[in-house]
Chain A
Amino acid sequence: MNIDSIKNGIVIDHIASGNSMEIYELLKLEELDCSVAIIKNAQSRKMGKKDIIKIDADVDINFDVLGYIDPNITVNIIKDGVLVEKRHLSLPKELVNVIVCKNPRCITSVEQGIKHIFKLSETENGVYRCAYCETKAKNQ
Chain B
Amino acid sequence: MRNLIDILDLSVSEIEELTQIAEDIIKNPEKYQEKCRYKKLATLFFEPSTRTRLSFEAAMMELGGNVIGFSEANSSSAAKGESVSDTVKTVGCYADIIAMRHPKEGAPLAASFKAEVPIINAGDGGHNHPTQTLADLLTIKMEKGGFDNLTIGLCGDLKFGRTVHSLINAMSRYKNIRFVLISPEELSLPDYIKKGVIEKNNIPYTETRDLEEAVKDLDILYMTRVQRERFFNEADYIRLKDSYILTLEKLANAKKDLCVMHPLPRVNEISPEVDEDSRACYFKQVKYGKYMRMALILKFLEVEI
Contact = CB atoms under 8 A, between A and B. Distances in A.
Say whether A associates with B: yes
15 contacts: A105-B103, A105-B125, A105-B126, A106-B105, A106-B106, A107-B104, A107-B105, A107-B106, A107-B107, A112-B83, A114-B110, A132-B107, A132-B109, A134-B127, A135-B105
Given A114-B110, A133-B127, A103 B83 contact: no
A133 B83 contact: no
* Interface magnitude class on chain A: 20 to 34
B247 interface: no
Nearest to B6: A134
Interface in B74-88: 83-85
Contact of B105 (A115, A121, A122, A133): A133
Across the A-B interface, the 8 shortest Cβ-Cβ residue pairs: A132-B106, A133-B105, A107-B104, A107-B106, A107-B107, A133-B106, A107-B110, A105-B105
Given A105-B105, A106-B105, A133-B105, A111 B127 contact: no
B102 interface: yes
B85 A113 contact: yes
Given A111-B83, A113-B85, A103 B110 contact: no
Interface of B: 83-85, 102-107, 109-110, 113, 124-127, 196
B105 A132 contact: yes
Contact of B104 (A106, A112, A113, A134): A106
A69 B103 CA distance: 32
Contacts of B109: 107, 131-132
Nearest to A122: B196
Contacts, number: 52
B126 A107 contact: no
A111 B85 contact: yes
Per DSSP, chain A at the interface is: loop
A84 interface: no
Report which residue of B84, B104, B107 has the largest number of chain A beta carbons within 10 angstroms of its beta carbon.
Answer: B104
A1 interface: no
B87 to A, nearest CB: 11
Nearest to A101: B106
A105 B105 CA distance: 6
A133 B104 CA distance: 9
A112 B103 CA distance: 16
Contacts of A113: 83, 85
A97 to B, nearest CB: 14
Nearest to B102: A107
B134 to A, nearest CB: 20
A130 B125 CA distance: 15
A103 B105 contact: yes
B183 to A, nearest CB: 21
A111 B89 CA distance: 14
Nearest to B5: A132
Interface string A92-128: 0000000000010111111111110000011000000
Contacts of A112: 83
Contacts of B127: 133-134
A109 B83 contact: no
